[in-house]
């Protein structure tokens, strides 16, 4: 007998006179006197199955509970009234795992559902979000590969902070103090000297106390680094990557977007080049709404949102004040107060990536470290990269979950990752 995925049936691939088999779980159940409706789910979708009172499946259909696993045999046929347009007339049911009373029901609070993450991941919403997430990874890799970047694997345990220590997680490593990485940038810089164009998609950890819709303590960071690149090369690459991901996801995830009620046209509209403004222009634009904002201040979430609303699409803000940027940011020779740093922003979320040119001069780098109260001795290996064959180079890091929150218009970043880690959540 033909074993079918639910998607195949919904795509009309099953003949009306052929008995088919579905393996799945009971998603919904409605019981009438003469008819039981079971909505089954598998990884590919949900489908309504009917069981008639006179069928041999009746007693098993009565017995099954929400989330019971089973193999169902029946005949699929088109039915305009059924969700998805197809229905299965059930002939037999073979229960694999009879489920106890499922704790998640309609009347449960958001808080309760979050505590039940291990079960909530079976919901249609999470199933669809994770498929879109998978496509984002695939499309991103596709673009990096097409541009001849090599994917590398940086470490998660590190011995020194990449930048400021305030959001750094420390941990006991046998008898020593180590940290969890906040960014793989410095390691990509090492590998760049061997492989030239490199990228990674790996976790980054931030001890973020702020509870916002865009911060996790563990998130997936898509980072790239390559030699002989300047700010224009950097922005051109980032907008190319973003355009490819949006176009490719919009082509391959049409069904997921439709079922989630997300606007796919927003993705289709993403096309390089993106609007670009300097930090100085950003301040001037924001000044009427936020008079306290002066040159030198970092843009806050609220500022970024206001700017992003004006653009209504991904855009760049570049040339930030040196004093608010990390020690490795390259500065302009005749304007050392300005750093070659660029953020990509999107509506509602604000910043989704930060990139820039890296300081390639050893002496300037040491000065910058000292100015920020860092000890150059802690960065000996990093300084070696400038000692032995230094080159101008640039790179960036984009938060994968921030990208997904924006794409799908999710309420909160925690739904863009299967097992969100925040100040309060680390279970299961």
User: Min. distance of Cβ 217 from Mg ion in angstroms?
Assistant: 16
218 binds, among Mg ion, ligand ATP, none (CB under 5 to 8 A by kind): none
User: Min. distance of Cβ 163 from ligand ATP in angstroms?
Assistant: 7
The rounded distance, in Å, linking the Cα atoms of 322 and 298 is 11
Nearer to ligand ATP, 130 or 216 (CB): 216
Nearer to ligand ATP, 74 or 350 (CB): 350
User: Min. distance of Cβ 142 from ligand ATP in angstroms?
Assistant: 20
The rounded distance, in Å, linking the Cα atoms of 256 and 226 is 34
Environment class of 383 (CB within 10 Å of its CB; exposed 0-12, middle 13-18, buried 19+): middle
Report in angstroms the alpha-carbon separations of 131 from 43, 45, 412: 10, 12, 17
Nearer to Mg ion, 128 or 403 (CB): 403
Q: Which helix (H) or strand (E) holds 258?
A: helix 254-260
Nearer to ligand ATP, 45 or 397 (CB): 397
Phi, psi (rounded to 5 degrees) for 129: -60, -40
Nearer to ligand ATP, 149 or 219 (CB): 219
Q: Which residues are within 8 A (CB) of 257 and not within 5 positions of it... i.e. 6 or more apart?
A: 132, 250, 263, 264, 408
DSSP-based three-state secondary structure for 47: strand
User: Min. distance of Cβ 354 from ligand ATP in angstroms?
Assistant: 3
User: Min. distance of Cβ 264 from ligand ATP in angstroms?
Assistant: 22
CB of 103 closer than 8 Å to CB of 65: no
User: Min. distance of Cβ 239 from ligand ATP in angstroms?
Assistant: 15
The rounded distance, in Å, linking the Cα atoms of 42 and 7 is 9
Nearer to ligand ATP, 14 or 408 (CB): 408
Other Cβ atoms less than 10 A from the Cβ of 16: the count is 9
CB of 338 closer than 8 Å to CB of 320: yes
Q: Is 354 in the site for Mg ion (CB under 5 A)?
A: yes
352 binds, among ligand ATP, Mg ion, none (CB under 5 to 8 A by kind): ligand ATP
Binding region for Mg ion (CB under 5 A) out of 140-148, 277-285, 316-324, 354-362: 354-362
User: Min. distance of Cβ 330 from ligand ATP in angstroms?
Assistant: 16
Nearest by Cα to 246 from 375, 143, 362, 129: 143
Nearer to ligand ATP, 219 or 237 (CB): 219
215 binds, among ligand ATP, Mg ion, none (CB under 5 to 8 A by kind): ligand ATP
* Residue nearest to Mg ion as judged by C-beta position: 354
Q: Is 183 in the site for Mg ion (CB under 5 A)?
A: no
The rounded distance, in Å, linking the Cα atoms of 411 and 282 is 26
* Residue nearest to ligand ATP as judged by C-beta position: 399
Q: Which residues would be at the binding site for ligand ATP (CB under 6 A)?
A: 183, 206, 208, 215-216, 219, 221, 351-354, 397-399, 401-402
For binding to Mg ion (CB under 5 A), which residues are involved?
354
């Amino acid at each position: 007998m033909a074993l079918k995925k639910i998607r195949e049936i919904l795509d009309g691939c099953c003949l009306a006179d052929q008995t088919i088999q579905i393996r799945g779980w009971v998603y919904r159940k409605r019981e009438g006197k003469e008819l039981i409706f079971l909505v089954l789910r598998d990884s590919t979708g949900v489908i309504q199955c009917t069981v008639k009172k006179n069928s041999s499946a009746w007693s098993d259909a009565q017995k099954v509970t929400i989330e019971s696993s089973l193999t169902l045999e029946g005949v699929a046929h088109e039915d305009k009234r059924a969700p998805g347009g197809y229905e299965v007339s059930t002939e037999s049911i073979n229960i694999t795992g009879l489920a106890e009373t499922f704790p998640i029901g309609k009347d449960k609070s958001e808080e309760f559902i979050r505590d039940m993450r291990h079960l909530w991941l079976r919901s249609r919403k999470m199933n669809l979000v994770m498929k879109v997430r998978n496509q984002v990874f695939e499309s991103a890799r596709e673009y990096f590969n097409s541009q001849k970047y090599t994917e590398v694997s940086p470490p998660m345990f590190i011995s020194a902070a990449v930048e400021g220590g305030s959001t750094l997680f420390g941990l006991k490593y046998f008898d020593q103090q180590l940290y969890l990485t906040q960014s793989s940038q410095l390691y990509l810089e090492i590998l760049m000297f061997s492989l030239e164009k490199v990228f990674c998609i790996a976790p980054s950890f931030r001890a973020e106390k702020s509870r916002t819709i865009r911060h996790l303590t563990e998130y997936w960071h898509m980072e790239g680094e390559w030699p002989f690149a300047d700010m224009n090369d950097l922005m051109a690459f980032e907008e190319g990557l973003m355009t490819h991901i949006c176009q490719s996801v919009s082509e391959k995830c049409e069904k997921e977007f439709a079922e989630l009620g997300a606007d796919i046209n927003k993705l289709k509209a993403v096309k390089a080049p993106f609007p670009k403004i300097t930090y100085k222009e950003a301040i001037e634009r924001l000044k009427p709404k936020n008079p306290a904002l002066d040159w030198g201040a970092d843009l806050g979430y609220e500022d970024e949102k206001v700017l992003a609303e004006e653009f209504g699409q991904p855009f760049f803000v570049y040339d930030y004040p040196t004093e608010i940027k990390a020690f490795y940011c390259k500065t302009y020779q005749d304007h050392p107060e300005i750093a070659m740093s660029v953020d990509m922003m999107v509506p509602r979320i604000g910043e989704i990536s930060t990139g820039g040119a890296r300081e390639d001069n050893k002496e300037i780098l040491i000065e910058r470290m000292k100015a920020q109260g860092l000890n150059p001795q802690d960065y000996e290996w990093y300084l070696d990269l400038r000692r032995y064959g230094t080159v101008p180079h640039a790179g960036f890091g984009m938060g994968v979950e921030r990208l997904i929150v924006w794409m799908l218009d999710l309420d909160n970043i925690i739904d863009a990752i299967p097992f969100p880690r925040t100040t309060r959540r680390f279970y299961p």
